[in-house]
């Protein structure tokens, strides 16, 4: 079964779409791999931070992008937070934001796991055809 990828909200989607072209293209390639093979791709594509929190490790000639995500019920991957990395180490502030969002999602999902989620879900599903996607050579 294929995984489906969602953004936590529109501002997360807009942040990631504003990344430099090369970094964003690499992000799309990694999310396509996640859809087929699942979220545990390992380095250099994804990395686990424990407690169900992972990061997508996108690179391009213009820099490095990171997107934190977690897995929720029924093969769903939820991208919680994204940023362009400016230092060697992942900034504590960015990791803290992702952990808070991940914990909130875990609490909500635990309550939904026995029933269908409400239709008011405001997360945004990735459809790769929506993005201009040109393979790099």
Asked whether the beta carbons of 23 and 60 are under 8 A apart, the reply is yes
Q: Which neighbouring-strand residues pair with 97? A: none
pLDDT tens digits for range 69-116 = 987 777 888 888 898 988 777 767 777 777 777 666 655 554 444 444
State the distance between the two ends of the chain, measured CA to CA, in whole angstroms.
Answer: 30
| Between 31 and 104, the higher pLDDT residue | 31
pLDDT at 116: 47
Name the pTM for this structure. Answer: 0.70
Asked whether the beta carbons of 75 and 35 are under 8 A apart, the reply is no
d(CA 65, CA 137): 20
pLDDT at 135: 43
DSSP state of 129: G
The structural domains of the chain, ordered by start, are: 4-130 (3.30.2310.20)
Asked whether the beta carbons of 97 and 87 are under 8 A apart, the reply is no
């Amino acid at each position: 079964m294929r995984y489906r990828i969602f953004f936590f909200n529109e501002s997360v989607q807009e942040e990631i779409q504003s990344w430099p072209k090369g970094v964003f293209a690499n992000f799309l390639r990694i999310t396509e791999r996640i859809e087929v093979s699942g979220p545990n791709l390992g380095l250099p594509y994804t990395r686990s931070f424990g407690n169900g929190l992972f990061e997508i490790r996108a690179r391009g000639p213009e820099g490095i992008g990171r997107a934190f995500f977690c897995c929720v019920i029924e093969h769903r991957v939820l991208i919680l937070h994204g940023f362009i990395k400016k230092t060697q180490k992942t900034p504590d502030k960015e990791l803290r934001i992702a952990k808070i969002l991940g914990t909130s999602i875990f609490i909500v999902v635990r309550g939904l796991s026995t029933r269908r989620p409400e239709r008011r879900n405001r997360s945004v599903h990735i459809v790769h055809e929506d993005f201009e996607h040109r393979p790099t050579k």
